[in-house]
A and B are shown apart, each in its own frame.
Chain A
Amino acid sequence: MAPRADRDIVAQLVSQCRRGDPQAFEQVFALYRGPLYAYLARTTGDRHEAEDLLQDVFVRLVENLDRYEESGRFEAWVFRIAANRVRDWARRRKHAERTASAPPGGRENDGDGPLPGVLDKAVEAPPEGRMIAGEQIRQLETAMAGLEADERQVLVLRHYGDLSFREIADIMGSPLGTVLAKSHRALLKLRDKMDRPAARSDP
């Protein structure tokens, strides 16, 4: 989860970064690279894609620092960049799948959500499998990966970005009520799936 960095310190770091201070950038990088990568890895389900997107996010972050307005939290601005990168990536991926006219097997993406189908690969290849501590965590990851894409999007933004539902609604460009409804469904599904994992895994 993204650390709740002191707002004044972050404002100072941003100001120094705007003047091209590499040491200030190193601190920003250290603060946000972990949460951003976790978010990108969970949403793409692919560590290599997530690493490429991470680079894209940080380069755009640096290039657009002057556009950040201090009235909002820096974390929300940073994760908005990341969410936009993921959205573009999902569109490219969907377009590539269509033009290849050979859609992969598995669940069909609904295509209606802001981030359609971006997590489908997570079921097959959870990122950083070596990090999984135990069976329960593996089940949790599988349960998360089994949610609808936009339901997952809400939960991972909240978890890794430490964002409020209002900030998430703003990032996703959705009404707060819609985001809360998705979150409601996602949380209950998650609890239900984790409530009875043994019954499904037994022969």
Chain B
Amino acid sequence: MSACDPRELVLLAAAELDGAARRRIEAHVAECPRCAAELQALRQGLALAARLPAPEPSPEAIDRVRRAALGALARRRPARRPRIAILRRYALTAAAALVALVGWSLVQQWFAPDPVPPGHVAVADGRELTHNWDRWQNAVTDSAVLTEELGTLQQSDPWTLAEIRLAGSASQKAGDELQEIIEHVELIEHDAADGS
């Protein structure tokens, strides 16, 4: 048994009650003549509202609205790719490049027949390399993540030629700047070998 609740009667009249709630209200209505009469009146009201005609816009208005909306559609820019998806894409590239770099370094260390010269540039020359490296980074990388990761690696350990070549290859954008920096490092290494 439920108390008389006009709001629930509206939901029942509009068939927007399901399951236990509907059965509960129906049981109440079956025993309450007042609510039964009210439910019938509400259903008649809904039936009347449903007969209200739908006015139509004029053909000129339809055409005008359509053209305005199509104009807005044409101006729509494609939804921006979610930032996380961009990061994921570049993170994969960066990870692949790092794996290749580390792997290649290990291979060099394991199979290098002669430990001297090690192929590392001197710390002082590393500053020069860093100076040019900025240009190289801009030229051969298009990923902020990759740049950051490579930059961190560079600071922790001077670069070998092989590493630079590999990084350039991984980025697939090796250009004149890469060639320039490679030649520069070759010169440094050559001078170091002559001096040793």
Contact = CB atoms under 8 A, between A and B. Distances in A.
Secondary structure class of chain B's binding surface, majority of residues: helix
Interface in A23-53: 25-26, 29, 33-35, 37-38, 41-42, 47, 50-51
B61 A177 contact: no
Contact of A51 (B38, B51, B57): B57
22 contacts: A1-B50, A1-B54, A19-B78, A20-B78, A38-B55, A41-B55, A51-B57, A55-B68, A58-B65, A58-B68, A58-B72, A59-B69, A63-B72, A65-B76, A141-B52, A141-B53, A164-B14, A165-B11, A165-B14, A187-B49, A188-B38, A191-B48
Interface string A70-84: 000000000000000
The main secondary structure of chain A at its interface with chain B is helix
A155 B51 CA distance: 12
Contacts of B11: 165, 180
Please name the 9 residue pairs, one residue from A and one from B, whose CB atoms are nearest each other, closest first.
Answer: A187-B45, A128-B55, A180-B7, A38-B54, A58-B69, A51-B61, A62-B72, A191-B45, A55-B65
A59 B72 contact: yes
Nearest to B46: A187
Nearest to A129: B55
Given A58-B66, A59-B68, 8 more contacts: A17-B73, A47-B57, A54-B61, A59-B69, A63-B76, A165-B10, A187-B41, A191-B42
A97 interface: no
Contacts of A54: 57, 61, 65
B79 interface: yes
Contacts of A59: 68-69, 72
A67 B175 CA distance: 42
Contacts of B66: 26, 29, 58
B57 A22 contact: no
Nearest to A54: B65
B155 interface: no
Nearest to A191: B45
A158 B55 CA distance: 16
Nearest to B69: A58
Given A54-B61, A66-B79, A159 B41 contact: no
Interface in B1-21: 6-7, 9-11, 13-14, 16
Interface stretch (A87-95, A100-108, A111-119, A131-139): A131-139
B51 A184 contact: no
A51 B58 contact: yes
Contacts of A29: 65-66, 69
Interface in A149-200: 155-156, 158-160, 164-166, 176-177, 180-181, 183-184, 186-188, 190-191, 194
B70 interface: yes
Contacts of A156: 52
Given A62-B73, A181-B6, A33 B57 contact: yes
